[in-house]
Amino acid sequence: MRWFAYNGDADGICSMVQWGLVHGIEGKRITGVKRDIELLRKVFAKEGDELVVMDISLARNASLASDIERNGVKIQWFDHHLAGSYKGNIETYIDNSPSVCTAIIVQEYLGIKSNWSQVALHGDGLSDVSTMPNLKELGELLNYNGYGKDISDLHFHPDTLLLSCMQAKTPEMFLETKEFEILKKGFAKDIEKSESISLRDGAYILPNEAWARRVVGVFAHRINSESSGPHVIAIEKEGSYQISLRGQSGIGELCAMFGGGGRETAGGIDDLPKEDMAALMNEVDTRRDK
Ligand SMILES: [Mn+2]
């Protein structure tokens, strides 16, 4: 049997569509919301099975991967996140250069030319690299659909979107589907709600509701494109905040001081106790452009 484990965001879905249009997607497919990166926990492959992984970090799944490999499963791994130093015999197609996404890697592996890889570039925020600006909205909408606490927050299960994309065959045809229309309307509604959120003591505080959990990534991106920051965008939970931090530099490091992590310009803290918010804001204030 063939297993697939793929990220439920635009890049993961587009990678799968490309594979599926060539080889089919029969088998057992495991996916989830974008933040669910330990998908290999749900793979129960047996000796002689195959596993294809798309757009999931090998570094963060190394021990799960090695357990599966030791069971006699052949693994092919396509990704552009940090790979770490994996010691096993996985067939890896990993390239973490900043202008590449997984769908580009898969396209090359398959030896095809596909506009789905262009959709994926937009989804991963690499519009500068894409040669097809007409597919930007689709990439962003597929990416937006992956955001939520769990599947119930999403407009569509990522696997349902995968099947619709395959049925449409091309991104251009997908733009004519009712699924695209639903994503477009859903996104517009969420964004409209987010426009009522204003600064409170230096931070943007969103309620812990499905619409906010879906749109928080795009909201943070918009705030950040307006000024240099750092910007604190928080979802208010019971005793804590889920923090998204955006800025020009040192953001991952700043998040790490509070138990989170991230990159130079974007980061997050999953569960910041409310009593630590003042300390975080102090750190943020010292880094603000004066
Ligand atoms: Mn990706």
Mean pLDDT of 217-239: 91
Instruction: Kindly report, residue by residue over 24-39, the tens digit of the pLDDT.
Output: 999 999 999 988 878 9
CA of 283 to the centre of ligand 1 (A): 30
Q: Is the pLDDT of residue 225 over 70?
A: yes
CA 143 to centroid of ligand 1, rounded, Å: 10
The mean pLDDT of 39-56, rounded to a whole number, is: 96
**Complete domains list, the chain, with CATH:** 2-186 (no CATH), 197-287 (3.10.310.30)
Supply the pLDDT for residue 151.
Answer: 96
Position 226 pLDDT exceeds 70:
yes
Rounded to the nearest angstrom, the distance between the alpha carbon of 38 and the centre of ligand 1 is: 15
User: pTM of the predicted model, to two decimals?
Assistant: 0.89
Q: How far is ligand 1, taken at its centre, from the CA of residue 12, in Å? A: 6
Confidence of residue 81 (pLDDT cuts 50, 70, 90): confident
Query: What percentage of residues in the chain have a pLDDT greater than 90?
Result: 83
Cα 275 to ligand 1 centroid, rounded to whole Å: 34
| 56 CA → ligand 1 middle, Å | 8
CA of 222 from ligand 1 middle (Å) equals 20
pLDDT band at 218, cuts 50/70/90? confident
pLDDT band at 193 (very low <50, low <70, confident <90, very high): very high
Query: Ligand 1 mean position to 63 CA, how many Å?
Result: 21
- Which residues have C-beta under 5 Å from ligand 1, the single-atom ion? 11, 55, 101-102, 124
Listed range (81-85, 258-262, 280-284) with the worst mean pLDDT:
81-85
Q: How far is the CA of 34 from the centre of ligand 1 (A)?
A: 10
Radius of gyration, CA atoms only, the chain: 19
Q: How far is the CA of 144 from the centre of ligand 1 (A)?
A: 13
Whole-Å CA distances, 151 to 54, 59, 145, 207, 286 = 19, 24, 10, 18, 38
Would you state the pLDDT for residue 49?
98
- Residue 189 scores a pLDDT above 80: yes
> For 138-184, what is the HEC assignment?
HHHHHHHHCCCCCHHHCCCCHHHHHHHHHHHCCHHHHCCCHHHHHHH
Q: What is the largest CA-CA distance in the chain?
A: 61
What is the whole-number distance in angstroms between the Cα of residue 194 and the centre of ligand 1? Answer: 25
Please state whether beta strands 261-262 and 266-273 pair in parallel, antiparallel, or not at all (unpaired).
antiparallel
- Using the predicted structure, report yes or no on whether residue 244 has a pLDDT greater than 60: yes
pLDDT band at 290; cut points 50, 70, 90: low
Of 38 and 122, the one with more pLDDT: 122
